[in-house]
A and B are shown apart, each in its own frame.
Chain A
Amino acid sequence: MKIKIFLLLCTLFYTQLQAQFYVSRNGQITFTSEAPLERIEAFTQSANSVLDLAGQQIEFAVLIKSFQFQKALMQQHFNENYMESDQYPKGVFKGSFLGFDTEKSKQDGVYPIEIEGEMTIHGVSKPVACNGILKVRSSEIMGEAELELEVADFDIKIPAIVREKIAKTVKIKVEVAYQEYQKNSK
């Protein structure tokens, strides 16, 4: 009897060790500012993200300087004047999600999820919640989410001169292709 319990515990422990992490190093994030006088769009494809299925945690990290704009001056102003990216080089989100787990990750399908956590941009942290989707297709997980952020919430100052060119609310679109994290691969 004791041996049985011991073996059972070993199995449970082992499956916990296998508890899955999914990682991405090429997450795509687009942000759009629609203002009366101008539409600004920037894009990065080097966002990092980690999905912890057992702990139901999700994390994102982006390098602010990796956002690419069509116009050089926009990129310069974005980094130097608004985001001050020399001082605050990263945007980070740490949170949890509901609606997905290890079981679901083994079945192909589309799973709506609710995400909640803390967004840190320009040195300021704010609670953020949004909906998203996780799509499972043969052991690959694709994540998608859209949310809106108030520029002022993160202490980002827009001078009066350009107020008609930069929106107060910015739309963010996230698309991530996750791969299961294998300990012995790079």
Chain B
Amino acid sequence: MLKKIGLLLFIAILIGAIAFLYVNQASKNAASSKTDVRITASELFAAFDENETSANEEYLDKVIEIKGKISEIDGNQIRLQTEDAFFGVICELENIPDELPEVGQEIVLKGFCTGKLMDVVLTRCAVVD
């Protein structure tokens, strides 16, 4: 009888622990998530520029591996060039790497797509080696 209670208690605690960990899991980081889409900065920007509604449907919340040429670096934002004269794709780095990439460099980054304001914005980004 005591053994049974012990076992039930153990299972209850186990379920409790799993539930606790599930509820409190930290926000996902793009680097450790599976890539949904591989695309260039120009292509992604063009998709949003042409039809924002359908681009939202296709890309919002997706993990995007994006390739482009760096036009500017501002704090933890790496901005990638597109065909547009003024705007591009902004990749917000989750962590600032020890060695910053250089303006003009071709780079591949991975992040979550959150939409387009003036630029298309990807958050929680990491540089892909």
Query: Among B27, B87, B119, B123, which residue has its beta carbon within 8 angstroms of that of A72?
Result: B27
Of all chain A residues, which has the CB nearest B84?
A186
Of all chain A residues, which has the CB nearest B57?
A86
Report Cα–Cα, A148/B22, bound state, in Å.
31
- Residues of A near B74 (CB, < 8 A) are 25-26
1/0 contact string of A25-53 vs chain B (CB within 8 Å): 11000000000000000000110100000
Of all chain A residues, which has the CB nearest B27?
A72
Complex contact A73–B114 (CB within 8 A): no
CB distance from A164 to the nearest CB of B (A): 16
Binds B, one of A13-21, A58-66, A95-103, A125-133: A58-66
- Residues of B near A75 (CB, < 8 A) are 27
Complex contact A73–B25 (CB within 8 A): yes
Q: Chain B residues in contact with chain A, CB under 8 A?
A: 22-28, 56, 60-61, 71-72, 74-77, 79, 81, 85-88, 90, 92, 112, 114-119, 121, 123-124
Name 6 A/B residue pairs within 8 A (Cβ), A-sorted. A25-B74, A45-B76, A46-B92, A65-B60, A89-B60, A90-B115
